[in-house]
Amino acid sequence: MKLFELKKIQSDFPTEKITTSNEAQLFIRQFYGDDIEVFESAFILMLNRQNQTIGYAKISQGGIAGTYVDPKIVAKYAIDSLSSGVIFCHNHPSGNPAPSPEDITLSKKLKQGLNLLDINLLDSIILTPTSAYTSLADLGQL
């Protein structure tokens, strides 16, 4: 028989209130290393009802031009952390922060799926190796 339990595990994860896309992208950049210029990878930042950070998860790592993101994995981490909000983020090693049609489609799919679980997709952010970034929420694309 398998035992399942719900409990909080204490960690040193920094708690920070996120209120803008700029704050979010600056916070998330700390999870990327020099590899931000080499291959695409995707992370989620998980937040509580007060938009305070409670955790993050690396969702995928791909090649130089793309990575596969499974919405079920995003939902799993959001549920496990009891998140009220999620910010999805991935990088474009090319340096072009413009969202592709696939980026927009994925973000809308994540938003719809998480909404069914009463979890808000607050933003979908594209980072570049420089300080440039794009927020789909700021563009009205969510």
The 10s digit of each residue's pLDDT in 109-120 is 999 999 999 999
Which pLDDT does position 7 carry in this prediction? 62
Residue 85, classified by CB atoms within 10 Å of its CB into exposed (0-12), middle (13-18) or buried (19+), is buried
Confidence of residue 39 (pLDDT cuts 50, 70, 90): very high
SS3 123: strand
Q: Which CATH number is 125's domain given?
A: 3.40.140.10
Q: Is residue 58 part of a domain?
A: yes
Q: Is residue 138 part of a domain?
A: no
Counted domains in the chain: 1
Helix, strand, coil abundance in the chain, percent, nearest 5:
25, 25, 45
Query: 101-116 and 71-80 are packed helices; what angle lies between their axes, rounded to 10 degrees?
Result: 40
Q: Is residue 1 part of a domain?
A: no
- Compute how many other C-beta atoms are within 10 angstroms of the C-beta atom of residue 49: 9
The 10s digit of each residue's pLDDT in 55-81 is 999 999 999 999 999 999 999 999 999
Q: Is residue 11 part of a domain?
A: no
Q: Rounded CA gap, 116 and 52, in Å?
A: 22
Q: Is residue 55 part of a domain?
A: yes
Q: Is residue 141 part of a domain?
A: no
Q: Is residue 14 part of a domain?
A: no
Percent share of the chain, pLDDT over 70: 92
Domain carrying residue 84: 21-132
Angle at 120 between CA 128 and CA 135, to 5 degrees: 25
The 10s digit of each residue's pLDDT in 4-34 is 566 666 667 789 999 999 999 999 999 999 8
Q: Is residue 60 part of a domain?
A: yes
